[in-house]
Amino acid sequence: MARIEAVIFDLDGVLVDTEHVWDDARRELARERGVPWPEDASRAMMGMSSLEWSRYLHEVVGLPESPEEISAQVVWRLQEIYRRELPLFGGAVSAVERLAARCPLGLASSSNRELIDLVLELSDLAEYFKATVSSEEVPRGKPAPDVYLEAARRLGVAPNRCAAVEDSENGIRSAKAAGMRVLAIPNPVYPPADDALALADDVLASIGELTPERVEP
């Protein structure tokens, strides 16, 4: 396998403990409008870009607003939560610092651009990332490889020389489809299916285990 020259992080579920925050914000929006929440909606939207999940909430769940209005509402709610208390995972900052000392870092997230920038600003981690990509900036969200391929392109590193750090089923599939070495930190609330987790090259119990030694095969 090619030597790893860059590491690309997912954001939600890897650096910040926010998968449930996203879920709560969307559910609350539906509840306020009297729209029932489909049982499989939360898992279905994991990894979708803002364009995709806002359309899903409008067309499948049945929220009356336009996808653009839905996205703006959810983003506003998350911004308020982040500003009150950013839910950074313990050990996230140290892990980023460790890896940044070894190689360039990128970020490939399904979050909206405003939320990516806010998290990196509030956490003081912005300086460590040479390239950040939101899946709203590429044609397809995860599990398609687009967001990871674009992050690698912006870093100037071939995809097969990148390692990706992921927590979700769609994220693992996305990074693997991009041809990257995949380090999985399984999300405990929405654990990846066994067949998706089997695609990972290494599985970590927490981000505290993310070291340069685990990155290099």
Cα(136)–Cα(70) distance, integer angstroms: 15
What band does 1 get if pLDDT is binned at 50, 70 and 90? low
Give me the residue label for tokens 């405003």.
114
Q: What is the DSSP string of 107-121?
A: EEESS-HHHHHHHHH
pLDDT at 217 > cutoff 80: no
Which CATH fold would you assign to the domain 19-84? DNA polymerase; domain 1 (1.10.150)
Task: Name the more confident of 2 and 109.
Answer: 109
**Mean predicted confidence (pLDDT) in 82-104:** 97
Q: Is 201 a residue of the active site? A: no
Measure the CA–CA gap between 6 and 164, rounded to whole angstroms: 9
- Options 10, 17, 23, 167, the catalytic residue: 10
Task: Indicate if the pLDDT at residue 188 is higher than 90.
Answer: no
Write out the CATH class of domain 6-17+87-215: alpha beta
What SS3 class is residue 77?
A: helix
Question: What are 116's two structure tokens?
Answer: 């990516």
Residue 50 pLDDT > 90, yes or no?
A: no
167 is catalytic: no
101, 94, 193, 164: CA torsion to nearest 10: -20
- Rounded Cα distance between 19 and 13, Å, is 6
Domain ranges within the chain, ordered by starting residue:
6-17+87-215, 19-84
Q: CA-based Rg of the chain, rounded to a whole angstrom? A: 16
**Could you tell me the pLDDT band of residue 189, with boundaries at 50, 70 and 90?**
confident
State the average pLDDT over residues 153-177: 97
Residue pair 172/184 in contact by the 8 Å Cβ criterion: yes
